[in-house]
Amino acid sequence: MIPPGAPILTAEAMRAAEDAHFRGVPQLDVMERAGAAIAREAARFATGRDMLVLAGPGNNGGDAFVAARLLKAAGHDVTVAAMGEPQTPAARTMFERWEGATSSLYEARPRPILIDGLFGTGMSRALDRGPRALLADLAKGAEFSLAIDLPSGLETDSGADYGAPRVSATIALAALKPAHLLGAGLEKCGHVLLADIGIPVESAWHSLARPRIEAPGAFDHKYSRGMVAVIENAMPGAARLAAGAAASAGAGYVMLIGTDPASRVDAIVRKSVAAAEDLADALADPRIGVVVVGPGLGRDRRAEGLLKAVLATSHPLVLDGDALSLLGRNAARWLQARTAPSWLTPHGGEFDRLFGEAGGSKIDRTLAAAAEAQATIVHKGADTVIADPRGAVRVAAHASPWLSTAGTGDLLAGLLAARVACGDDALVAAETAVWLHAAAARRAGPAFVADALIGQIPQAVSECL
Ligand SMILES: NC(=O)C1=CN([C@@H]2O[C@H](COP(=O)(O)OP(=O)(O)OC[C@H]3O[C@@H](n4cnc5c(N)ncnc54)[C@H](O)[C@@H]3O)[C@@H](O)[C@H]2O)[C@H](O)CC1
Ligand SMILES: [K+]
């Protein structure tokens, strides 16, 4: 569970927000607030069980000493184990305010409640083998483990694992950090809680929140509600899934354009196109609000011809699957030449083929790609990152792992097209599509076939009205 709609800050951005705040508020007061928030959460789960608090050398350790003092004062049985001497003035003061004994990390024995305050946003290198193994043992030996800000050993900005334990819950201080939503962090953080410790934070990056969807007005009709065209080719089933999702997510009119005589879906209009050259005519209808190209397109000459005909139109585009593979490293060049907006929905492998493998965290890479292609990018995965060319980011974590099955990507492309055709802003369309996709999967339960998600989409929409 991740707090929805919460700001996400990198380690550097968090430090800048803290520094600005400390000009008006004493740092020790802020650390007292952080420690109090941690103590409050730990006490909620303690039910009289003994606690072990781990304190590292930096301010994460400072928070830990505050929490230990408050929990002990509240009557809990608390022992503290520290790793090295406190290295910051604030951590030293909090160490001195802790009046109990402090043992070394190497002497610590597991206790039912573990509070991990070894390292937070200041972790600068992988944990050494010794502390890594000790921490893992202490976390495994605990019945409930709570990480202060981050499980110690997670790289704040990427979520890469440098030896972090898996904890029951993590209390993010002031803001989420990328590691709460990305990469290994998804599995290591457990339930993520957010504590307001008085530091004002602003960010263009947020965790995904439930969107609002406008119901049609009394005078809306099928065209005013938005028209989606889906290009069908080598694997018509994929295009059909995209079309079905679009029709179920609020589009007024969905058209499948291709050659497959077997693809009959009663409410979806079919338009036959024999040769790729005929596609331009089929797409000439100015009422078309968006074209989906890529699901089941194939990668042969005909597929290439169809894609080129689509790119030559002035319609907004949702590009997925084979369209992304065909564009490859030339995607940005093709898209920059267009005036209508585009959305790209690559999974990790497609993203690497489009934009290369280098460039920092998943958020950094998606942002750079959005700027390069001047498109909204939905970089799919267990941690889906949406980025737009203006620098906005939304991260959706913890979607059902059952979504890792054939056809779900096609559905997402269709959902996105529906929201674009309905007139959502570019970023909102992507957020809404990703949210509906996850909600439909949640409703479908385990081991679903992608087709079954279509029937869940209207219920997912109803959660947003
Ligand atoms: N700034 C504040 O007053 C507040 C900060 N809060 C908490 O502080 C941490 C961030 O604190 P910081 O001192 O910057 O860093 P850390 O405590 O995470 O650790 C730095 C410390 O650890 C050493 N170190 C780094 N990596 C390793 C490693 N792999 N092995 C061994 N040692 C390592 C490094 O040299 C430093 O000595 C933040 O997460 C909050 O928990 C509060 O929010 C309150 C206000
Ligand atoms: K920690």
The pLDDT, as a whole number, for residue 102 is 96
28 in a structural domain = yes
- Is residue 447 domain-shared with residue 337, that is, in the same domain? yes
The pLDDT, as a whole number, for residue 261 is 63
Query: What angle, 0 to 180 degrees and rounded to 10, lies between the N-to-C axes of helices 408-421 and 236-248?
Result: 40
- Is residue 185 domain-shared with residue 286, that is, in the same domain? no
Q: Quick one: which of 262, 252, 257, 264 has its CA closest to 231? A: 257
- Residue 398, marked binder: no
**pLDDT averaged over every residue in the chain:** 95
CA of 453 to the centre of ligand 1 (A): 44
- Split into its structural domains, the chain has a count of 2
Whole-complex ipTM:
0.95
Mutate to test the pocket of ligand 1, among 14, 22, 41, 60 (most ligand atoms within 8 A of CB): 60
Mutate to test the pocket of ligand 1, among 12, 121, 132 (most ligand atoms within 8 A of CB): 121
- Is residue 353 domain-shared with residue 395, that is, in the same domain? yes
The pLDDT, as a whole number, for residue 164 is 97
Instruction: For residue 143, give the CATH number of its domain.
Output: 3.40.50.10260
The pLDDT, as a whole number, for residue 346 is 98
pLDDT at 259 over 90: no
Last residue of a domain, which of 162, 185, 201?
Answer: 201
420 in a structural domain = yes
The pLDDT, as a whole number, for residue 141 is 97
- Token pair belonging to 382: 């267990």
The pLDDT, as a whole number, for residue 263 is 58
Last residue of a domain, which of 201, 236, 266?
Answer: 201
Instruction: Report pLDDT digits (tens) over 55-108.
Output: 999 999 999 999 999 999 999 999 999 999 999 999 999 999 999 999 999 999
Residue nearest to atom 44 of ligand 1 (CA): 31
- Is residue 316 domain-shared with residue 238, that is, in the same domain? yes
Instruction: Report pLDDT digits (tens) over 365-393.
Output: 999 999 999 999 999 999 999 999 999 99
The pLDDT, as a whole number, for residue 138 is 98
CB 64 within 8 A of CB 81: no
CA of 293 to the centre of ligand 1 (A): 47
pLDDT at 117 over 70: yes
Residue nearest to atom 45 of ligand 1 (CA): 31
The pLDDT, as a whole number, for residue 264 is 64
CB 386 within 8 A of CB 412: no
214 in a structural domain = no
347 in a structural domain = yes
CA of 278 to the centre of ligand 1 (A): 62
pLDDT at 8 over 90: yes
357 in a structural domain = yes
- Is residue 294 domain-shared with residue 377, that is, in the same domain? yes
Which numbered atom of ligand 1 lies nearest the CA of 121?
39
Phi, psi of 322 (to 5 degrees): -65, -30
216 in a structural domain = no
Instruction: Report pLDDT digits (tens) over 294-345.
Output: 999 999 999 999 999 999 999 999 999 999 999 999 999 999 889 999 999 9
Average pLDDT on 197-225 reads: 94
79-166-448 Cα angle (round to 5): 145
Q: Quick one: which of 438, 448, 349 has its CA closest to 459? A: 438
- Is residue 166 domain-shared with residue 264, that is, in the same domain? no
Phi, psi of 448 (to 5 degrees): -85, 160
CA of 74 to the centre of ligand 2 (A): 22
- Is residue 256 domain-shared with residue 294, that is, in the same domain? yes
The pLDDT, as a whole number, for residue 266 is 78
Structural domain for 172, as ranges: 11-201
Query: What angle, 0 to 180 degrees and rounded to 10, lies between the N-to-C axes of helices 11-22 and 27-46?
Result: 120
221 in a structural domain = no
Last residue of a domain, which of 142, 167, 201?
Answer: 201
- Is residue 252 domain-shared with residue 398, that is, in the same domain? yes
329-334-338 Cα angle (round to 5): 155
Q: Quick one: which of 61, 100, 58, 55 has its CA closest to 81? A: 55
Alpha-carbon gap, residue 91 to 450, rounded angstroms: 52
pLDDT tier at 208 (50, 70, 90 boundaries)?
very high
Ligand number nearest CA of 199 is 1
The percentage of the chain sitting over the pLDDT mark of 70, rounded to a whole number, equals 99
Query: For the whole model, what pTM was predicted?
Result: 0.96
74 in a structural domain = yes
pLDDT tier at 275 (50, 70, 90 boundaries)?
confident
Average pLDDT on 219-228 reads: 90
Which numbered atom of ligand 1 lies nearest the CA of 87?
37
Which numbered atom of ligand 1 lies nearest the CA of 118?
17
- Residue 361, marked binder: no
- Is residue 326 domain-shared with residue 427, that is, in the same domain? yes
Instruction: Report pLDDT digits (tens) over 120-177.
Output: 999 989 999 999 999 999 999 999 999 999 999 999 999 999 999 999 999 999 999 9
- Is residue 187 domain-shared with residue 239, that is, in the same domain? no
Q: Quick one: which of 102, 33, 28 has its CA closest to 72? A: 102
Pocket of ligand 1 (CB under 6 A): 18, 27, 30-31, 34, 56-61, 63, 87-88, 90, 119-127, 148-149, 173, 197
- Residue 59, marked binder: yes
pLDDT tier at 1 (50, 70, 90 boundaries)?
confident
Instruction: For residue 305, give the CATH number of its domain.
Output: 3.40.1190.20
Residue nearest to atom 5 of ligand 1 (CA): 59
The pLDDT, as a whole number, for residue 97 is 97
- Is residue 175 domain-shared with residue 300, that is, in the same domain? no
Q: Quick one: which of 164, 171, 91 has its CA closest to 134? A: 164
- Is residue 179 domain-shared with residue 235, that is, in the same domain? no
